[in-house]
Amino acid sequence: MEKRMLVPNEIVDEVIAAGVKKSKLSALQMIILGTIAGAFIALGGYSSAVASHSIENFGVAKFLAGAIFPVGLMMILLAGGELFTSNTMILVGVVDGKVKLKNMFKNWFYVYFANLLGSVIIAYLIFVSGGLDVDGGKLGAYALKVAAYKGSLPFYKAFTSGILCNILVCVAVWMAYGAKDVIHKIFAVWFPIMAFVVAGYEHCIANMYYFSIGLFAKTNPAYAEIGHFTSEKLSHISIEAMVQNLIPATLGNLVGGAIFVGLMYYLALKKIPAKMDVNRTLNM
Q: Give per-residue pLDDT as tens, 129-152.
A: 999 999 999 999 999 999 999 999
Mean pLDDT for the stretch of residues 194-212: 98
- pLDDT band for position 122 (50/70/90)? very high
Q: Residue 244: what pLDDT? A: 98
- pLDDT band for position 92 (50/70/90)? very high
Confidence check: pLDDT of 46 > 80: yes
Q: Residue 83: what pLDDT? A: 98
Confidence check: pLDDT of 4 > 50: yes
Phi, psi of 5 (to 5 degrees): -140, 135
Q: Residue 170 to residues 43, 76, 89, 148: CA-CA distances in angstroms? A: 20, 13, 8, 27
Q: Residue 195: what pLDDT? A: 98
H/E run at residue 86: helix 84-87
Q: Rounded distance, CA 53 to CA 158, Å?
A: 22
Q: What does the mean pLDDT of the chain come to?
A: 95
The pLDDT > 70 percentage for the chain reads 96
Q: Residue 282: what pLDDT? A: 42
Mean pLDDT for the stretch of residues 158-184: 97
DSSP code at position 262? I
Mean pLDDT for the stretch of residues 11-26: 97
Q: Rounded distance, CA 213 to CA 210, Å?
A: 5
Q: Rounded distance, CA 119 to CA 116, Å?
A: 5
Mean pLDDT for the stretch of residues 216-245: 96
Q: Residue 279: what pLDDT? A: 53
Mean pLDDT for the stretch of residues 221-233: 94
Q: Rounded distance, CA 214 to CA 234, Å?
A: 10
HSE-CB at 220 with a 13 A cutoff on CA atoms is 22
Q: 269 with 8: CB under 8 angstroms?
A: yes
Higher per-residue pLDDT: 283 or 221: 221
Q: 122 with 43: CB under 8 angstroms?
A: yes
Q: Residue 280: what pLDDT? A: 56
Confidence check: pLDDT of 205 > 50: yes
Q: Residue 277: what pLDDT? A: 62
Q: Rounded distance, CA 84 to CA 207, Å?
A: 13
DSSP code at position 177? H
Look up the pTM and report it. Answer: 0.94
Mean pLDDT for the stretch of residues 236-250: 98
Q: Residue 144: what pLDDT? A: 98
CATH second-level architecture of 8-270? Answer: Up-down Bundle (1.20)
Mean pLDDT for the stretch of residues 194-214: 98
Mean pLDDT for the stretch of residues 96-123: 98
- pLDDT band for position 68 (50/70/90)? very high
Mean pLDDT for the stretch of residues 79-88: 98
